[in-house]
Amino acid sequence: MQIPSFLFFVSACEAALLVRHPSTLFRPVSAQFQVRTHTTTVRLQESPSDSASPGLIDALKMRARIFQESNAAGLGFKQCVADAIAGEYDKGSTEAELRKIIGSAPVVMFSWTVSPACKKAKRLLALAGVEVKVVELDQPWSEGNPKRAQLGRMTGKSSVPSIWINGEYIGGCDDGPTDSAPGLIDYTFQGKLAPLLTK
């Protein structure tokens, strides 16, 4: 059974604890390791040394290393978490794939199916009669997590929705990272959305 990688970074507190005090999370219990959080105790089996695939412990160590590298590079906490969840991936080919998707339709939205902000953005764009190409980043997580991390590196915002109109990033639903990308609602009230849609 494959456990989604996002479960390892359930909360910002756990991610920060893992980075700052990795030795406090793993306590040997015979041939197993024990991970303690404020709500749950999970026992993890180490992968056999002859196994070709990394075990859970190895995956956690890799994600902690990636988080630390992103943090050392000066990236924000949310981007560090997005990078850690994404794991190791080819940033160049992922960005090329994203640019291809962004250029494939006049309006593109990267989304999570259960996100309230994404649902709100979809509803507002539908009310405006806008046809949107929606890319669900949680279908499957294994493909969406690297895309989300790379979108964060491209835009300065790793959260979703990530809305693009005619190849231009406008932000999320309620906000964005800059004045030039303030988000869908601000764009609409500033009178900038309609002109973008008619290009």
Give, in degrees to the nearest 5, the angle at Cα 149 between 144 and 153: 140
pLDDT tens by residue, 129-182: 999 999 999 999 999 999 999 999 999 999 999 999 999 999 999 988 888 889
Query: How far, in whole angstroms, is CA 141 from its chain's centroid?
Result: 9
pLDDT digits (tens, 9 = 90+) for 81-121: 999 999 999 999 999 999 999 999 999 999 999 999 999 99
Token pair listed for 172 = 């999320």
33 pLDDT above the threshold of 50 = no
Question: Rounded to whole angstroms, how far apart are CA atoms 149 and 31?
Answer: 34
Indicate if the pLDDT at residue 12 is higher than 50: no
pLDDT of residue 120: 96
Q: What is the mean pLDDT of the chain?
A: 81
User: CA geometry: angle at 10 spanning 39 and 23, to 5°?
Assistant: 75
Which pair of tokens denotes residue 165? 């109109």
71/85 Cα distance (integer angstroms): 14
Q: Is-contact 163 101, C-beta < 8 A?
A: no
pTM: 0.73
d(CA 176, CA 184): 8
In the structure, what pLDDT confidence band is assigned to residue 46 with cuts at 50, 70 and 90? Answer: low
